């Protein structure tokens, strides 16, 4: 008992070890061996994470002395205890199941920075989700990246990425959390830009290297503000350690203090800290207005897309709010109101954009933005359990959909070749269920989960968010999220129907009539051209097995938290209050989802008999569709505002650098040369020549003096007499006058 909790520190260490082995040993010379090393270590990490989850579910707590005890499984919230209809659910920071820390850097006085791991139910659930999803993605990568010449490097990077996420989850304080957070940002740069040497004929089309830079810089905007918020919190608490004890950031007395103290801006200290921390979430989880980097991240390999969009990077931002939730609650509402507004707006905004896309991965990318908006909005309205619940279910079915899209792209290459513009365009697909039955069935499972079809995982978690919005009186949020749910069901039905039904159109693929801004994936192969009459084919088992595993979770993962008496397990597991069953909300949500599916079928059942056909919505509403296809022109807006501003600042700085700084430095150099010349003149002319003259004069004087030394007494008497005469004259005519 307590064995897995004691050795939980191995969970991030194992993928980190994989990174070290692949990078530093001869293993990197074998693509196959490097992949299996990474997969094997992830399997072990997953086993430990499952053990941790089981022990936490049993209520096992391990003290500082290593002794394990079992607490009540009921926790702080009894099963079925509901949030008040008049207000939001209470939040109680759960007691840690195990805490292990050590001092690693002294600060001032008795203050020191600590490092360690902190496991509570939320962390345990996230560990299970991340390790399972990441293991499936690692296995999928064995088949997907099999022909890439840099496969070993890929597994090295993806192992480090996973290790960073797991370390962030286990962090015992916000400083270590931030360090892992930034390491994950570095890994995202390396993975998004993995095919850094890839270029496109059109210079306006973003390349992987540019996409990586865009992601890195955009997320840094949020991260800088996150760091400022962390520093602000440090000045108030003198600590960044998680926990409720005195001197820790979730101590009730401290939270009451910062909630009741107003800063110079007229807001509470808690509000200021919370909003700054939330900026990190806006960047990492790609919420409006820092959403622009995530769709461009599609330039990375598809397994990277699955990892970023499902199990790791974007989940980190939502988890940050969930982890620091007591601070958000401490201010009495303003910070959470901002969170709910940003989340709800992003959910609807991204869902609208997804309707007008043709790239199979880009549709899923904007779907991710929308679903992250659901999670953020849930946390903002007080639905902590619902938000984390949707974070967990979404990771499984969105990883499934991205890996499924990778399987589709892999199969399409048999027909269109390694041309990313055509292999990912859904207009060139059709009837793929005939050629790729396993991919089709698993993809449909993910699609129904995302669309909120009754009984699937996404239905239960999304319904709980909508129920919380309804029960807490946030009707505007409920309406916005309901509209987003309708659009989700519609655009996913559109995608599935065009890809898997109708007539296959890949033998005569569409020539690109537009320049996609992003989203292309070519495995790093050379373009061998179209493969003529080849039909699409099913992917190898290393790619289909992860799809089957994730499909099981997409179907059944929601059953762990059904809102019925005896089945709301996460309420007990997380030790938090949550909303109960709401028949009205469930009925409306079900009808909305089914209506979106039905409308998608009606509009697209006869669409795209050829690859050259026009989208029905484009034909009916060309202006609106063009706006959606161009993402509300946000790329153009950013390019003409922040882009121009950045360019102008760069030009100004370049001029300042060349004219002012270089001029000053060059002038300083010239002045130094002048001083050197003057010094040379003084040294050579005055000092050297002067000393030479003195020396010569001394020599001459010595010679003259020596001539007077004759040795004759009369000569000396004459000299003395002459001297006396001279002194007498000086006295008579000088001194006496």
Percentage helix, strand, coil for the chain under 3-state DSSP, each rounded to 5: 70, 5, 25
Q: Is 106 helix (H, G, I), strand (E, B) or coil?
A: strand
Residue 161 has pLDDT above 70, yes or no: yes
Q: What count of other Cβ atoms lies within 10 Å of the Cβ of residue 707?
A: 8
Beta-carbon contacts of 209 under 8 Å, excluding residues fewer than 6 positions away, are 193, 196, 198
Lowest mean pLDDT among 200-214, 522-536, 662-676, 677-691: 522-536
Please report the pLDDT score of residue 706 as a whole number: 67
Q: Are strands 68-70 and 98-106 parallel, antiparallel or unpaired?
A: unpaired
Phi, psi (rounded to 5 degrees) for 610: -135, 165
Cα 297 to the center of its chain, rounded Å? 11
Lowest mean pLDDT among 278-292, 515-529, 540-554: 515-529
Q: Report pLDDT digits (tens) over 321-380.
A: 999 999 999 987 899 999 999 999 999 999 999 999 999 999 999 999 999 999 999 999
Alpha-carbon distance of 97 to 641, in angstroms, equals 49
Lowest mean pLDDT among 33-47, 93-107, 370-384, 704-718: 704-718
Helices H / strands E in the chain, number of each: 31, 4
Please report the pLDDT score of residue 81 as a whole number: 45
Higher pLDDT, 389 or 713: 389
Beta-carbon contacts of 262 under 8 Å, excluding residues fewer than 6 positions away, are 268, 269
Reference 707, options 696, 723, 719; nearest CA is 719
Lowest mean pLDDT among 298-302, 443-447, 492-496, 697-701: 697-701
Alpha-carbon distance of 205 to 218, in angstroms, equals 18
CA atoms within 13 A on the CB side of 153: 11
To the nearest whole percent, how much of the chain has pLDDT over 70?
Answer: 89
Please report the pLDDT score of residue 677 as a whole number: 81
Higher pLDDT, 737 or 699: 699
Mean pLDDT across the chain, nearest whole number?
86
The pTM assigned to this predicted structure is 0.85
Reference 283, options 367, 376, 364; nearest CA is 376
């Amino acid at each position: 008992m307590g064995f897995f909790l004691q050795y939980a520190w191995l969970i991030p260490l194992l993928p980190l070890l994989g990174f070290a082995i692949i990078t530093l040993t001869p293993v990197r010379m074998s693509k196959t061996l490097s992949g299996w090393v990474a997969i094997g270590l992830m399997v072990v990490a997953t086993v430990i994470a499952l053990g941790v989850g089981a022990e936490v579910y049993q209520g096992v707590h391990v003290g500082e002395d290593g002794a394990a005890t079992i607490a009540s499984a009921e926790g702080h919230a009894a099963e079925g205890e509901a949030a008040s209809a008049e207000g939001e659910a209470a939040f109680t920071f759960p007691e840690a199941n195990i805490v292990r820390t050590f001092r690693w850097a002294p600060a001032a006085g008795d203050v020191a920075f600590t490092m360690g791991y902190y496991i509570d139910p939320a962390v345990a659930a996230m560990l299970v989700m991340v390790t399972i999803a990441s293991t499936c993605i690692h296995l999928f990568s064995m088949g997907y990246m099999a022909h890439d010449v840099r496969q070993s490097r890929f597994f090295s990077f993806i192992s480090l990425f996973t290790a960073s996420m797991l370390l962030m989850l286990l962090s015992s304080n916000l400083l270590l959390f931030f360090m892992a957070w930034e390491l994950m940002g570095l890994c995202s740069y390396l993975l998004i830009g993995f095919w850094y040497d890839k270029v496109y004929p059109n210079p306006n089309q973003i390349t992987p290297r540019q996409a990586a830079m865009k992601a890195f810089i955009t997320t840094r905007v949020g991260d800088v503000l996150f760091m400022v918020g962390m520093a602000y919190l440090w000045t108030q608490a003198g600590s960044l350690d998680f926990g409720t004890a005195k001197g820790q950031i979730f101590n009730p007395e401290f939270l009451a203090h910062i909630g009741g103290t107003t800063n110079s801006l007229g807001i509470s200290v808690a509000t200021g800290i919370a909003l700054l921390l939330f900026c990190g979430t806006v960047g990492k989880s790609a919420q409006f207005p820092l959403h622009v980097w995530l769709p461009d991240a599609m330039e990375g390999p598809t397994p990277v897309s699955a990892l970023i969009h499902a199990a790791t990077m974007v989940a980190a931002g939502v988890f940050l709010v969930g982890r620091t939730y007591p601070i958000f609650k401490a201010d009495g509402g303003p910070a959470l109101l901002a969170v709910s507004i940003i989340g709800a707006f992003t959910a609807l905004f991204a869902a609208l954009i997804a309707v007008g896309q043709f790239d199979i991965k880009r549709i899923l990318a904007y779907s991710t933005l929308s679903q992250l908006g659901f999670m953020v909005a849930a946390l903002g309205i007080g639905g902590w359990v619902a938000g984390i619940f949707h974070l967990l279910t979404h990771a499984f079915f969105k990883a499934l959909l991205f890996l499924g899209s990778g399987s589709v792209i892999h199969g399409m290459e048999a027909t269109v070749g390694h041309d990313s513009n055509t292999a990912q365009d859904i207009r060139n697909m059709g009837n793929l269920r005939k050629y790729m039955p396993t991919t089709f069935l698993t993809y449909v499972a993910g699609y129904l989960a995302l669309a909120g079809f009754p009984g699937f995982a996404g239905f239960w978690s999304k319904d709980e968010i909508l129920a919380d919005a309804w029960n807490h009186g946030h009707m505007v949020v409920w309406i916005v999220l309901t509209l987003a749910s309708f659009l989700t069901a519609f655009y996913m039905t559109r995608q599935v129907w065009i890809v898997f039904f109708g007539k296959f159109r890949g033998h005569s693929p569409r020539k690109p009539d537009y320049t996609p801004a992003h989203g292309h994936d070519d495995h790093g192969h050379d373009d061998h051209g179209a493969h003529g009459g080849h039909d699409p084919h099913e992917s190898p088992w290393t790619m289909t097995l992860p799809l089957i595993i994730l499909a099981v979770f997409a179907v059944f993962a929601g059953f762990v938290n059904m809102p019925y008496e005896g089945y709301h397990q996460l309420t007990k597991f997380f030790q938090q209050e949550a909303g109960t069953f709401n028949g009205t909300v469930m009925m409306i949500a079900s009808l909305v989802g089914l209506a979106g599916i039905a409308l998608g079928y009606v509009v697209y059942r006869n669409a795209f008999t050829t690859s050259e056909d026009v989208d029905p919505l484009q034909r009916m509403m060309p202006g609106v569709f063009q706006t959606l296809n161009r993402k509300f022109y946000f790329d153009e807006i950013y390019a003409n505002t922040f882009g121009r501003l950045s360019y102008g600042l760069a030009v100004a700085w370049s001029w300042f650098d060349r004219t002012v700084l270089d001029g000053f430095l060059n002038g300083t150099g010239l002045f130094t040369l002048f001083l050197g010349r003057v010094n040379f003149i003084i040294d050579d002319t005055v000092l050297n020549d002067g000393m030479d003259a003195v020396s010569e004069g001394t020599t001459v004087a010595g010679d003259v003096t020596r001539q007077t030394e004759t040795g004759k007494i009369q000569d000396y008497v004459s000299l003395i007499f002459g001297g006396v005469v001279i002194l007498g004259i000086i006295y008579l005519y000088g001194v006496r006058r």
